[in-house]
Amino acid sequence: MKMLINVPETVVADALRGMAAAHPELTVDVENRVVVRRDAPVAGKVGLVSGGGSGHEPLHAGFVGPGMLSAACPGEVFTSPVPDQMVRAAAAVDSGAGVLFVVKNYTGDVLNFEMAAELAEDKGIQVAQVVVDDDVAVSDSTFTAGRRGTGATLFVEKIAGAAADEGAPLDRVVAVARQVNGSSRSFGVALSSVTTPAKGSPTFDLPAGELELGIGIHGEPGRERRSMMTSGEIADFAVHAVLEDLRPTGPVLALVNGMGATPLLELYGFNAEVQRVLSERGVPVARTLVGNYVTSLDMAGCSVTLCQVDEELLRLWDAPVETPALRWGR
């Protein structure tokens, strides 16, 4: 497989050096692998810290900035960051108002963030945690106990980040983050395998003419494998899977997310089918976001995330945000 890299061992460091050069509004510690908004800590503001394995860009470092995350900790490719990174990030953004860790539900991430929270508390930093577990495809899968954390991570980071930027106290920011997670569900589909720099070849076999329904963002297996389906058929399956579990009674945010190698031409076409299914099911859509946001390196495919919102959550979603990968209203 051809990759635009030097050597696998320096992929993450090289990417962070490039991010630092492109985004002077961020403080990028390449050696310790921590990305922080340059104005942190902001007086009286709750700090939001997230992180996870690299390879899911722009998640998480691409969401650092006003209106979203205060800091992010990138691990090695598909590998959790370590507690030391998380403690450094917490210390960098703590203004005395506390810090919220946003954690995707993968065993390594959960254990390391829990350890980091204990270490940060020992340093006098008040820490709360919210675990994102929105994937309806499978439970107790590879890397997880319970549901995987996927697209809803973006919703949690954006909406809780807006609450924090407005000066909400830690308990309120935590409540908002948990409400968003509890109101969100996701389902992903792979059209091709993923190739990690260390392996240099596909991590699993997905024959030509087949797709995997319910795939995870590390290439974990899904519900079933089928012959290739049309965009409309995939939307029918994915949206129905989400709605069977979420059962919204009001408007939703919709994220139509690419897995990294799917062009926008296809994603917008897929979004048309997602909107069709939601209309047929009588689900009003308040806002839609289309693009590659929670990815899996070079995997072709897509995911659908829906979050039921009330007026307050929608207001926080619409609030200004200015990060490398998400920005509006400023």
The separation between CA 102 and the C-alpha centre of its own chain, rounded to angstroms, equals 10
Asked whether the beta carbons of 215 and 190 are under 8 A apart, the reply is yes
Tokens of 268: 């917008």
- Indicate the length of the chain as a whole number: 330
How far, CA to CA in Å, does 10 sit from each of 21, 89, 145, 198, 313?
A: 17, 21, 31, 10, 40
Alpha-carbon distance 165 to 98, whole Å? Answer: 13
β 34-37/47-54 pair status: unpaired
Q: Give the span between the Cα atoms of 149 and 134, in whole angstroms.
A: 5
Quick check: helix, strand or coil at residue 210?
strand
Q: At what angle do helices 231-246 and 264-280 cross, to 10 degrees?
A: 50
Beginning with the edge strand found earlier in the chain, give each strand of the sheet holding 34-37 in spatial order.
26-29, 34-37, 71-77, 47-54, 99-104, 127-132
Active site residues: 56, 218
Q: Are 35 and 93 in contact (CB under 8 A)?
A: no
Task: Give per-residue burial for 237-256: e unless 16+ CB within 10 Å, then b.
Answer: bbbebbbebbebeebbbbbb
| Helix, strand, or coil (residue 158) | helix
Which residues lie closer than 8 Å to 291 by C-beta, 6 or more apart?
Answer: 256, 257, 258, 264, 267
> Tokens 């990417």 label which residue?
15
User: What is the spatial distance between Cα 317 and Cα 286, in angstroms, rounded to a whole number?
Assistant: 10
